[in-house]
Each structure stands twice: as structure tokens, then as C-alpha cells.
Structure 1
């Protein structure tokens, strides 16, 4: 099996680690062996259930990729997440509650415009979010 990582050309499975470490001579044989282990494809990671998207249901707000700048001006990537809250709101026209994941700005806008008007503007069917 060919490896996609540049450390090694051979993929070692966890069962092969103990036999491989005996082949490597000298102190620190375990650490040498562990550095050769590359990403082996596993079928269990393909069957993971999807997580809820971190996105506002009405405005579409989502995380922003930015930089965290240190005093020495080093820049490291930082994910600036939106302030999302799960809210159960009363929908007058549907005469029922709906549960939405909203940004706090969307909550303020709902107070001004109303839930139905904002959902219509966003093109969202509130029936899909009925509790």
C-alpha cells in the first residue's frame, strides 16, 4: 500500500508496530517506529454521522477565518465563530413553536421585523423547523 505522507513509503498498522520495533536497533526504537506510521485508511471514519452546520438558519451567518496576531506580530490562523443560539420561537401563522439555530443579530432583527417576514425574506420554510 502506497503512502501519501512524505515520512515513509510504507504504511504500518498498529498490529505491526510491536514486530517493527524489534527490527530497529538502539535506544528509542519505539519513537522511530512511531514516526514511520502514516495515515492508514480506515472504514470507520467514513461512517461518521454529520454534525449540525454552524450556520444561522435565517441570515446564513457562519464562521470567519482570521488571524490571531501576537505581540511579536506572528500570525496564526483562528476561526472566529458566529454567536449562534438554539431558540424555540412561537410562529403565529403556523400556530406552533419552531426551533431554529440563530445568530444573536438575527434575534434582534426578528424582534423588529417578525419571524414570518424574516423567514420569507430568507426563503426558509418554517414548517421544516416545527417542534
Structure 2
């Protein structure tokens, strides 16, 4: 399964490890993705999302209903 945040769309980045001699070898930078259950009061149920810590901060700031509505609008068109 891919490591993509369902809220922010964050995914892995590719970069280089640099040794002391400045040799470059490829590496991956993975986002901090967690599974988390969120309570939806209007539907009286939980939903399970795969979110980054940045996505969780957005949910804490704006509320889960606002974020879900924003996701629906983005998927619509």
C-alpha cells in the first residue's frame, strides 16, 4: 500500500544520502503516516483515515467536517 496522506496528499520524496566524500546514493524520505479513527458527530460513527501528522494538525485546527467537505469538493471537480 502506498504511503500517501488522504488529507494533504503528502507522499514520499526521493533524494540523496551524502557521505563525507560527497558520494551520492539514492534514498527515500517517507512522510509520518498514521492510521487514525475520527468520530463524525453528524453521522454518529467513526471513520478510519490514513493521515500524516500535518493532516492531523489541519483536522485539529479546522475540524473533521470541514476537511471532509473540502475533500468531497476536490474529488468532485
2:10 maps to what in 1? Answer: 61
Unaligned runs of 5+ in 1: 1-51, 125-131
CA distance in 1, matches of 2:32, 2:58: 14
Give the equivalent residue in structure 2 for 1:74: 23
Please give the secondary structure, in 2, of the residue aligned with 1:109: helix
**Partner Cα separation in structure 2 for residue 89 and residue 63 of structure 1:** 24
Q: Please identify runs of 4+ aligned residues in structure 1 that moved more than 4 A.
A: none
SS at match of 2:48: strand
Alpha carbons 1:67, 1:75 under 8 Å: kept: yes
When normalised by structure 1's length, the TM-score is 0.53
Counterpart contact for 1:59–1:122, Cα < 8 Å: no
What value does the CA root-mean-square deviation take over the aligned residues?
1.3
Structure 2 unmatched ranges of 5 or more: none
Query: Which structure has the higher relative contact order (CA within 8 Å, separation 6+)?
Result: 2
> Counterpart of 1:123 in 2: which secondary structure?
helix
Deviation at 1:93, TM superposition (A): 2.0
TM-score by length of 2: 0.87
